């Protein structure tokens, strides 16, 4: 059994995110957005983060497997990834010994990981016995061959495939959900920006679900997402291991040193961004983010391989949601960015108000559901 080097695995995954595959992915994204938003009712109260997680997990499942898993499985996957995401950031900053203590939280964390890997392993085994190209991410990963491997044509083992599925779900589902939750929350606190978004989506979409061809025609929506990722980058803390002795800002770093970089802190620096703590999407009008000071997806050789996938999904979802719904947080109390609330605001109860006419609304008005 061979094992792929991390750089080889990245090369094997790269074709999965080629631009020509995006129209197909966008169709899956639009269907998932349609399913979730059409299930909402006027006056309903939702947990915003939970609903965004439900949406992005559906997208992840369908783009990865092109398979309609049972609703109970999809919900379990969403719950497990939410639990892992909350636990992962805490575990990053805690000593390894603490992380292995048999606390209830630790047990739940590992149980969630085991369940997710079992789902992935089952689907990989089923697909190994089926040579058809299903047009999804898993088919792309299974058929990928490393062009630099020569006659060996290195491919990924089941274990490596499982790792990639796990990474994709965490990076492609939970982090996109957090971006959407923060974006919708911030729009609710910025009426002028929200009005500009409504004007844009009303003109472009009316009651139509946003599609791939719309992404480039949503400058206001995309600026909102750019600014949201500046203020609340889903990957708020990145770590790297020094591969050889080096020096950084006059400090000697021996080989093997772990270096932590916080996009969250960099994005809030007043010497880089004017009014850095203010939500101001207009700062991006005619401005491209600098790749050295704007790093919500990391940078360099280890930059997130699925950044355009995530941005496309977030753009389609935000445009469709704001075209159909006005979202109002039940509490006026600001949600602070803390370890408790990163990568996403938790228990953000939000009231839905339909923005479309009764003739086209998905169902009749109901009493608020808590």
Based on the residue annotation, tell me whether 292 is a catalytic residue of this protein: no
Based on the residue annotation, tell me whether 212 is a catalytic residue of this protein: no
Q: Are strands 238-241 and 246-248 parallel, antiparallel or unpaired?
A: unpaired
Residue whose C-alpha is closest to residue 318's, from 191, 206, 215: 215
Q: What is the DSSP string of 209-269?
A: PP-GGGGGG-HHHHHHHHHHHHHS-SS--EEEE-SS-EEETTEEE-TT-EEEE-HHHHHT-
Residue whose C-alpha is closest to residue 56's, from 365, 343, 334: 343
- Looking at 175, 228, 312, 320, which residue is catalytic? 175
- Looking at 168, 297, 320, 322, which residue is catalytic? 297
- Looking at 169, 220, 304, 312, which residue is catalytic? 304
User: Which residues are within 8 A (CB) of 119 and not within 5 positions of it... i.e. 6 or more apart?
Assistant: 69, 73, 77
Element at 341 (helix H, strand E):
none
Cα separations (Å) of 346 from 80, 142, 186? 15, 36, 14
Structure-block tokens of residue 154: 């290195």
- What are the φ and ψ backbone dihedral angles of 107, each rounded to 5 degrees? -65, -45
The answer to whether residues 316 and 28 touch, using CB atoms and an 8 Å cutoff, is no
Based on the residue annotation, tell me whether 13 is a catalytic residue of this protein: no
Residue whose C-alpha is closest to residue 257's, from 242, 240, 238, 237: 242
The answer to whether residues 250 and 256 touch, using CB atoms and an 8 Å cutoff, is no
Tell me the C-alpha distance between 134 and 157, whole Å. Answer: 19
Which sequence positions are flagged as catalytic?
175, 297, 304
């Amino acid at each position: 059994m061979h094992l792929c080097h991390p750089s080889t695995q990245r090369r094997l995954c790269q074709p999965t995110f080629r631009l020509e595959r995006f129209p197909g992915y966008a169709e899956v994204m639009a269907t998932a957005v349609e399913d979730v938003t059409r299930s909402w009712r006027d006056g309903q109260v939702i947990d915003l983060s939970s609903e965004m997680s439900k949406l992005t997990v559906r997208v992840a499942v369908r783009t990865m497997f092109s398979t309609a898993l049972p609703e109970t499985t999809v919900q379990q996957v969403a719950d497990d990834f939410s639990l892992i995401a909350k636990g992962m950031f805490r575990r990053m900053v805690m000593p390894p010994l603490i992380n292995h203590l048999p606390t209830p939280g630790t047990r739940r964390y590992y149980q969630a990981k085991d369940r997710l890997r079992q789902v992935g392993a089952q689907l990989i085994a089923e697909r190994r016995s089926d040579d058809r190209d299903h047009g999804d991410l898993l088919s792309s990963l299974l058929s990928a061959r490393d062009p630099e491997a020569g006659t060996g044509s290195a491919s990924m083992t089941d274990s490596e495939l499982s790792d990639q599925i796990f990474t994709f779900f965490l990076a492609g589902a939970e982090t996109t959900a957090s971006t959407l939750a923060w974006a919708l929350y911030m729009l609710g606190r910025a009426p002028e920006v929200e009005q500009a978004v409504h004007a844009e989506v009303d003109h472009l979409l009316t009651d139509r679900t946003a599609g791939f061809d719309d992404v480039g025609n949503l400058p206001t929506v995309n600026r909102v997402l750019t600014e949201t990722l500046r203020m609340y980058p889903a990957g708020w803390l990145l770590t790297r291991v020094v591969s050889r002795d080096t020096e950084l800002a006059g400090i000697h770093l021996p080989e093997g040193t772990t270096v932590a970089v916080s996009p969250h802190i960099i994005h809030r620096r007043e010497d880089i961004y004017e009014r850095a703590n203010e939500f101001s999407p207009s700062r991006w009008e005619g401005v491209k983010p600098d790749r050295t000071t704007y790093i919500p997806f990391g940078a360099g050789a280890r930059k997130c391989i699925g950044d355009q996938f995530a941005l496309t999904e977030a753009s389609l979802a935000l445009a469709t949601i704001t075209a159909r719904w006005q979202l109002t947080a039940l509490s006026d109390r600001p949600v602070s960015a803390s370890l408790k609330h990163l990568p996403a605001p938790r228990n953000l109860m939000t009231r839905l108000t339909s923005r479309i006419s009764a003739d086209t609304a998905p169902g009749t008005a109901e009493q608020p559901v808590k």
